[in-house]
Structure 1
Amino acid sequence: MRVLLIEDDERMAKALGSLLRSHSYDVVHAASGAAARETFGYDLMLLDLGLPDEDGLEVCRSIREFSDVPIIMLSARASEHDRVLGLRTGADDYLVKPFSMAELEARMQAVMRRPRTGMVGAVQVGDVAVDHVNHTVLRGGTPIALTRKEFTLLSRLMANPGEVVSRDHLLLEIWNDTGQAARRTLDVHITNLRAKLGRPSLIQTIRGVGYRIVVPSDMESTRHIG
């Protein structure tokens, strides 16, 4: 398992990294939120909240815009409010310092057993493919530039082609908001996706419910890769 350890305390990072490596984990260390965003291809993230450039909650929130990599928050903030806030921000688990290696490893294994939302490998419908490993979208083999939110929205819809995803579910999952402003934002993102993909009919509006990816009549043109 390749683990990204985001910890600004060098002594803590060295000690924890050594322990993880002794248990056969491949550990990559990042000392800031900015460095964490530039590191891809890991299986699990251990995220300290007290980072020098920004709060770990913001790092988690931004990572969730484009990835569902399992995240375990590590923090000395032990109140119920802090734990709930961390989980609501997008963490899979929250571990209070100090902790034992046995507990950390048990929690790591537990979150890795949970089913993810389909954002692994790639999925293709027709000539549109979403690659979650490299965070790219291709149409007929040509890369399409999307914003993080557009990528996340398309990924969620493409996870289960043909399945209707409600507007409220998308709003809560991607924007954590169901207000009118968020609803208008969702509408704009759907419009932008249709225009950028050049396939207006790919995303179908189910009036009063939500959206779905239209599966071509030839089911062989819908493929899950990886």
Structure 2
Amino acid sequence: MAFLPLFPLNLVAFPGESLNLHIFEPRYIQLINECIREEKTFGIPVYLRNTIMSFGTEMSVSQVYKRYEDGRMDIRTKGKRVFQLDRFINPVPDRLYAGGEVTLLDNTPLPEVMSGLLDRVRKLYHLLQVPFHFDLETGNFSFEVAHKVGLSLDQEYDLLRLLSESERQVFLIRHLEEVLPVVSEMERTKERIRMNGHFRSPDLLNF
């Protein structure tokens, strides 16, 4: 069991993800300054439906972009490991911020991306006419694409709780199987709208 200062947010941060934050509340200014000074990490537990959830991600401060005269700062953080929150402490004694006793969890990497997932992600990006640029060698491809395949916040949290990369990839395949037909129909509808009022060559019909 370990202790982490906590910075609850209404989002899911994934291991390996870079997250830019504007720090302005006094409690989080104190938290981040301590992390920088003592070279320690902090945790972002997911805040969902007005509740601090049991899972989150350990983060490190990778860069301070800007410091303001009033103490505010713009920083870049990097996701490290998923944690499970065992005990929430608010506030930490003699501190402004909350903290928690956590169990740091190891994610099981998968050295390759399931072809079914890769095919579906590529199809989605083709339909959306968006360039496909992802690191296929990351070992945790699910975290690479999780924010970019139309998951809801609840679904992102469900994904975070899966500790096996193979389980996460299967989760995303199932999600994309539901999303792709919707996106395909949306694109066909957009094409019909675009064609309305334009000169079109009629199909030749044999009677």
Higher strand share goes to which structure? 2
The structure that is helix-richer by fraction is 1
TM-score category of the 2 structures, normalised to the smaller one: 0.3 to 0.5
Using CA pairs below 8 Å that are at least 6 residues apart, which structure has the higher relative contact order? 2
The TM-score, its normalising length taken from structure 2, stands at 0.32
